Amino acid sequence: MSIESRSGSADLGIKGVATHGGGYIKYNVYGSLFEVSRKYVPPIRPVGRGANGIVCFAVGFWILLRGVSKCWSSRANGSYNESVSFLSQVEVLSSDTRELECLKKSSDTGSQNKSALLGRTLRGAQSLTKCSKALWLYNPCSRQSLQALRLSAGSRDKISTQPEDNTSLLRCPMTLDGRHFEDLFGRSRLSLGKLISCAAVNSETREEVAIKKIGNAFDNRIDAKRTLREIKLLRHMDHENVIAIKDIIRPPLKEDFNDVYIVYELMDTDLHQIIRSNQSLTDDHCRYFLYQVLRGLKYVHSANVLHRDLKPSNLLLNANCDLKIGDFGLARATSETDFMTEYVVTRWYRAPELLLNCSEYTAAIDIWSVGCILGEIMTRQPLFPGKDYVHQLRLITELIGSPDDSSLGFLRSENARRYVRQLPQYPKQNFSARFPNSSSGAVDLLEKMLIFDPHRRITVEEALCHPYLAPFYDINEEPICPRPFNFDFEQPLFTEEIIKELIYRES
């Protein structure tokens, strides 16, 4: 990977330029370099009315002048070069306003959209809002779909989102394994230490992709197995609501294969970012997001796979509000019995059977997670933000009520049943009162997902048939995986070197 100046010549001697008290982190990719901002610069809200609008405009104008003055000073001092000018532009881009245009559809747009899924969406949701991030991420496919919506849009609202921490914009050309990518608008997840994600455009195919770097991928056997598992799973699956892997980039020499670069189809954001933003979410948003999650989950479960880590940040969204399930690193076969050998499911989205160490769990754990996500969309807050597993159980029982003996049959351990019985007893809350701003259909489906006994919990097929999702439901458009996924490639005695060889073969 190389950084090129705007004149087109390669410059491998670029140093990090301090911006906003931060700086740039230089990465060596098989002998070449690229740089990512280490400092997240919050976006400025769109200019509105009154004092807030004036302040936002003033701050934005000041930042723009600051960037221009830096470039001018560099020229005056004789120290100007294309690379520094380029990085100054990155600083300005990082501070720029990112706006999402919400376009409310009118009733007759079906014939203008070729996608069957999008067509059903437009027919079923009279006020479904479509989101565009064209100001900071150009997506030609999304723009084509949005053009038809703009022609018939009844109204238009502007809103902005607050990206997650440690996110910054990056624009630079790069080359990986002979393939050239340019115009990166990067998302650096530096909090994980080893994971770097960025968006790129392939210079030859003009295809927009996301590139995830897993640094020192083979230092830890568990992490290496997780990477191999996700690669093989996503290579096996082919569904509109499951993220797709485009490529695995390998170095010229196998002995240099220490970092893994996975190329995915590009998505603009994730559900976590949308929930925590000031984006107005309607019941039609909620219905559309939920339908897509369940549609993708039906396909995943039909492949004999449990996701085991469903949460808003693993549900990816593009500018059309199309949703794809991502991050299959914790997935397992539905037929396995010894599941509890590693951490599964973020606590807030963890089903009661997992909290109670039930070793033989089923696809119902994913349905519970979807219920938690649905409740979070409805309230814009995590439904069960437990501090530990005891607190998590208390929050659950405070909402859905303490289970009676008939609801504990799934627990084979008498000690586990005894533990649940001695917990404080709570009556079930009235869901309609608990979620007063949500539609009755959404509340009813949520109740059926948040059932303590996994055997009584609604299945993904039953959820898709629920009246709340009737505007979208079409069994002919909800495919299943043609063949189950085989986890036989995972052997307990596999070393890091064996896993490295298996991933190299996938590239």
* Residues that are catalytic: 309
Instruction: List 25's β-bridge partners, or say none.
Output: 36
Instruction: Residue 212: count other Cβ atoms within 10 Å of its Cβ.
Output: 18
**What is the C-alpha separation between 457 and 399, in angstroms, rounded?**
16
**What is the C-alpha separation between 91 and 93, in angstroms, rounded?**
5
Q: In sequence order, what DSSP letters do the residues of 146-205 get, joined into one string?
A: HHHHHHT-SEEEEEE--PPTT-------EEETTEEEEEEEEE--GGGSSEEEEEEEETTT
Helix or strand (DSSP H, E) at 116: helix 116-124
Contact by Cβ (8 Å): 325, 293: yes
What interhelical angle do 440-449 and 364-379 show, nearest 10? Answer: 150
Count the residues in the chain: 507
Q: In sequence order, what DSSP letters do the residues of 458-471 get, joined into one string?
A: PPHHHHHTSGGGTT
Burial class (CB in 10 A: 0-12, 13-18, 19+), 153: middle
**What is the C-alpha separation between 249 and 261, in angstroms, rounded?**
5
